[in-house]
Amino acid sequence: MTRKADIRAEAERLRAVFEARGAQVFEADILQHAGALLDLYGEDIRARAFVTHDPLQGEMMLRPDFTVPLVERHTGEGRKPARYTYAGEVFRSQEDDPDRASEYMQVGYEVLGEDPAEADAEVLASFLDVLAPHRLKAAMGDIGLLRAAVAGLMTSEARKAALMRHLWRPQRFKALLTRYSNPARDIPEMNGGQEIGLRDRAEVEARIARLREDSAVPPISGEEIALIDALLSVSGNALEALEKLRALQADLPSIADAVAALDARYTALAARDVDLARFAFETSYGRTTLEYYDGFVFGFTFPDRPDLPPIATGGRYDALTRAIGGGAGTPAVGGVIRPGLLLQLAEGAQ
């Protein structure tokens, strides 16, 4: 078994690589205030985080990641464009898989405030350089394509907002699309009766009013549903996928800006001599695991060990900076590497 000291040494080595690329070292407390994390991720994070209570500070969580405190620091101090790197433990509760680590070391590289296409290319190219000796499988996607398609649907803003909230939960997202594509059911009247459960009469009446308002919205057309399905099915190597998306754009013009951003990212990557043909592309890549990303996403896995989680993941999270800092936010992209997994793979190869 890999010793913690070895993992920490590898983490320090990786962090030094990112420091050499101009990143400043960021440190974050292990105990984080739960309020901000709950506001950003919702109650679902309780199933994945270790929650405790401090008599003076209230509800706290063991650090589930570095990105949220980093963005809080950056936006709170009104900093200019900057690059950051960090190394330290993160903590994730594992309800479904007892073999997955609940505590592990994470090394990150984050670029905030720089041109999106160039920053995306910088982060991905940096990870490619660091991970080159390990023969990993590289994949990418773009959540921004699906966000753009949802924003362009011919339906109410309330329905679009509900779909956006569930982009990272494919089954719930599909169920909502199916519901919104069918005629609304009759909404029952509230004619007295006994009040049971935790919701009071005012809450129930408000809910019925929202359902009644939603019932007046026409169903999403079958054509639009088919186009969303076609978008989610786009896959292939990165270059093939771009051609498929350009063809789909003719019938789904709402994705035009997202396709243009993808093309600009590819141009920036090509300028850094990145072989795009080696990357597998899926529109829906990362939808179940990378939930605060809202644009470009990427990941690296070891092809001979499907039992292991990704060795590295990352992506663009502009929306997170808006949620934390308010206003327009700032362009932000980054990723993390798990040095413990890298050493585990190296030991297995010996």
Question: 235-237 and 280-282 as β-strands: parallel, antiparallel, unpaired?
Answer: antiparallel
Residue 119 pLDDT: 97
| Structure tokens that stand for 135 in this block | 């023969």
Residue 345 pLDDT: 83
Contact 337, 129 (CB under 8 A): no
User: Could you say which DSSP state residue 45 is in?
Assistant: G
Question: 31-33 and 58-62 as β-strands: parallel, antiparallel, unpaired?
Answer: antiparallel
- Choose the weakest-confidence range: 14-28, 47-61, 67-81, 295-309: 47-61
Residue 216 pLDDT: 74
What value does the mean pLDDT of the chain take? 87
Average pLDDT over residues 67-86: 90
Tell me how far apart the alpha carbons of residues 188 and 341 are, in angstroms, rounded to a whole number: 54
* DSSP for 142-167, written as a single string: EHHHHHHHHHTSSS-HHHHHHHHHTT
Nearest CA to 116 out of 340, 315, 272 is that of 315
Per-residue pLDDT tens over the stretch 144-159: 999 999 999 999 999 9
Does the pLDDT at position 141 exceed 80? yes
Report residue 165's pLDDT band, with 50, 70 and 90 as the boundaries: confident
Predicted TM-score (pTM) of the model is 0.87
Residue 205 pLDDT: 65
Biggest alpha carbon–alpha carbon distance for the chain: 73
* Dihedral, CA of residue 338, residue 309, residue 302 and residue 24, to nearest 10: -20
Per-residue pLDDT tens over the stretch 108-140: 999 999 999 999 999 999 999 999 998 899 999
Report residue 26's pLDDT band, with 50, 70 and 90 as the boundaries: very high
Average pLDDT over residues 326-330: 77
- Between 3.30.930.10, 3.40.640.10, 3.30.565.10, 3.10.20.30, what CATH number should domain 1-136 receive? 3.30.930.10
Residue range(s) of every CATH 3.30.930.10 domain in the chain: 1-136
Sign of CA dihedral 81, 86, 91, 96: positive
| Structure tokens that stand for 58 in this block | 């209230």
Average pLDDT over residues 19-44: 83
User: Could you say which DSSP state residue 310 is in?
Assistant: P
